[in-house]
Amino acid sequence: MRKPCMAANWKMNKTTGETRAFLDEFIPLVQDVKNVDIVVAPPFTSIHAAAALLAGSHIRLSAQNLFHEEKGAYTGEISPAMLTDAGCSHVIIGHSERRQYFKETDEMLNRKVRIARKHALQVIFCIGESLEEREAGKTFEVLNREIGEGLKEVSPEGIIVAYEPIWAIGTGKTATTEQAQEAHYSIREKLAALYSNAAAQEIRILYGGSVTPDNIDALMRCADVDGALVGGASLKADSFSKIVKFNTDYKQ
């Protein structure tokens, strides 16, 4: 049985002080949760503060991005060694906002995944289709391409896939449970073709896109949904703790 994973992506939110205040409130709320992996991804400026507060806890620390080189003349970029040195165990790669606003290509993302794994960072690899692509019937074509190109020459160990339909991110729209399960099942089939059926059954696939405490139980009923990558609803400790403490009867 795959252990559920709930990851908070704060995006460009929270100062260092706000990060400390959140974790001071959040950690006690989830201290008894043992059957769910919890990951928090603050902005770069708050990673050190978060690492200090999370030390000794069961909550893991993630970065929201990294650069695909070890070091060098890349002003403003962050290397994988810098992230591990700061206390990160995970990194988010390929989020639709990075693909859209910063023009990150499949080839570039593959380089990021490979260097992250070289440094033993667990990768939350994001994929998903736009509304136009869904309406054109290209959902599975897009997902297959992003998986195949993004995970090329990457072993399955340390990989978490996050399916985020772009049309559901920050819009208040959520894929129906049928849409979510259909996409997650297709992703697992592609992972089986890329690796093996055994490996595909081990890889966790998270759902992302307007996840809230109100819809998490329904999403987690889906056989191939193994958790969530949460945006807006992860910015408040009470809200995210309720998502983390979903009705785990569905995943026993």
Q: Which two tokens stand for residue 49?
A: 């503060």
pLDDT of res. 166 = 86
pLDDT of res. 144 = 97
CB neighbour list of residue 186: distance below 8 Å, 6 or more residues apart: 140, 143, 144
Catalytic residues: 95, 164
Four-way CATH pick for 5-251: 3.40.109.10, 2.30.30.40, 3.30.360.10, 3.20.20.70: 3.20.20.70
Contact 2, 204 (CB under 8 A): yes
Q: Residue 90's closest CA among 167, 157, 164, 158?
A: 158
Domain borders along the chain are 5-251
Contact 21, 55 (CB under 8 A): no
- pLDDT string in tens for the chain (252-residue length): 899 999 999 999 999 999 999 999 999 999 999 999 999 999 999 999 999 999 999 999 999 999 999 999 999 999 999 999 999 999 999 999 999 999 999 999 999 999 999 999 999 999 999 888 988 999 999 999 999 999 999 999 999 999 999 877 767 777 889 999 999 999 999 999 999 999 999 999 999 988 999 999 999 999 999 999 999 999 999 999 999 999 866 555
Backbone φ, ψ for residue 24 (5° rounding) = -60, -35
Contact 116, 77 (CB under 8 A): no
Q: Residue 231's closest CA among 104, 41, 61, 15?
A: 41
pLDDT of res. 252 = 54
Distance CA(24)–CA(53), nearest Å, equals 8
pLDDT of res. 206 = 98
* Residue whose entry in the numeric block shows the structure tokens 């996840």: 211
* pTM of the predicted model as reported, rounded to 2 decimal places: 0.96
